[in-house]
Amino acid sequence: MRKKFLTVLGVLLLACSLPLSGVASTKLFSDVPSTKHFAEAVYELAERKIIGGYPDGTFKPGNSITRGQAAAIITMLIKLDTTHVKNPGFKDVSTANGYYKAIAALAEKGIIGGYGDGRFGPNDPIKRGQMASILVKAFDLPDYPFLASKNPFKDVKWMSGHDKNILIIYRLGITTGTSTDTFSPNAFITRGQAAKLMRATEEAKSQIITLHANKFNWDDFGWTTGDDTDSEVFNITFEGQKPNEFVLNTIKIIPLKEGTGTLSFGKTNMGDPDKRNYRKYYVHVKEVNGKLKVTLEESDDILPTQAEFLVDNQPVETISLSTMDGKMLSDSVDFKKCGYGAKVNVCIDIDQAGQYIAVLHFAKGKKVRYAVNAELINTNFHYSIWTLKENPTAMLDLGEDETIGRYIVPNNAEKIGTVTRDPDTNRFHVVAKKKGMFEIAFPDSKGLYTGIHINVQQIGSVLHVEMGSSMKYPSDM
């Protein structure tokens, strides 16, 4: 008798979460005025017969929703097949339970789980944190790491259960919390809140594009261009098909605002470059009917790329640009401030591969030469840019208190740079000749220093040399 009663109770509870009749699901609910923040979601889902009201014409938006009811609604939202399901083995969910098929289908997909004691708790009210995790898994939302997302909620702490999934739905604009700084993860979610969260999740998911490696006949995605994937227009996540899976075979593109960005990616083992085991796309984001729509346009373009010069906020008056062999391209190139944060450097655009000389003109006639190397990389939208400030000489003073003694320059070092020492001092000079590195040794040193390392970098005819001291380890002193 008790088993029969529980079965009937389950069916009745399910009826309260689902449409009761065409009248109940399409007419206005007496307790859901249009001014309520969840009203639009409630009526939209009711129109689709995913949720429904009560026989008295109410929706009871302040009532809690059970775990079983949530399972039934979620399966309808994501159109999950419940015809043939595997018994999840929850000891409180028999095959006669009104929610059995929905619970079994979601459990088989790894979307929901039970308690540690083997129960599912189909009649337990569902908590807001639990709902966040179910929505993230059911709709396969982007797997943003907890520490990569802004956290406005003082009651959502790292490693506290549903923390990551709460921040995922916050970052996607699905929720703003119960206040500006609380999410209330352990509070029971109401029917009105659940309707709004579910509908907002549908909206967010509908704007996300998912790319699968197997669509390109690849086993995985091995790389993507870092500068292109976290723009103001869109960002991406790199994921496996299963949580914590090492093989990354899914890319999700999440639109942020209208505009166009670029995206490049490829498989781990590129192999023969002629096989084009990479792709390049323009990512166009446009608002259509109030929603952001992403379209991808494949391209082989190479775009103008910034060359950055480190000037530490010194005011630059003009920049001239010539080829490495001396052909003047412009005596006044357009430039702008750039760099992370305070933007203390300056940048120019390079639109052709090659080597260049940029001369930066400062106040009082000061000039500084930089070499620019722009390398074509077909897998990217941008050139690989390297800038090098001309600095053919360097000096290093190790101080008069150090007893260094003689110094030894290795064989063939003279081809890289000429080293001299001022008489009766520990002051060394180097004049660069070509790219390379070597170490000056102090075999008789009685103090801290064991030598000097020299590093000469080179682009074309431009040389840049740096000197640094080599010191004894504390255990050697």
Asked whether residue 134 carries a pLDDT value surpassing 50, the answer given is yes
Average pLDDT score over residue span 200-228: 89
Neighbour order of strands in the sheet with 259-266:
223-224, 259-266, 278-288, 291-298
Q: What is the pLDDT of residue 340?
A: 79
Asked whether residue 160 carries a pLDDT value surpassing 90, the answer given is no
Interior CA angle at 209 toward 142 and 268, to 5°?
75
Q: What is the pLDDT of residue 21?
A: 34
Residue 196, SS3 per DSSP: helix
Q: Residue 68 corresponds to which tokens in the numbers above? A: 């079983």
Asked whether residue 37 carries a pLDDT value surpassing 90, the answer given is yes
pLDDT band for 161, please (50, 70, 90 cuts): confident
Residues near 303 by beta carbon (within 8 Å), at least 6 away in sequence: 262, 381, 382
Asked whether residue 271 carries a pLDDT value surpassing 70, the answer given is no
Q: What is the pLDDT of residue 90?
A: 97
Exposed e or buried b per residue across 404-434, where buried means at least 16 C-beta atoms within 10 angstroms of its C-beta: beebebeeebeebbebeeeeeebebbbebbe
The domain spans of the chain are 2-126+188-206, 209-298, 305-389, 393-476
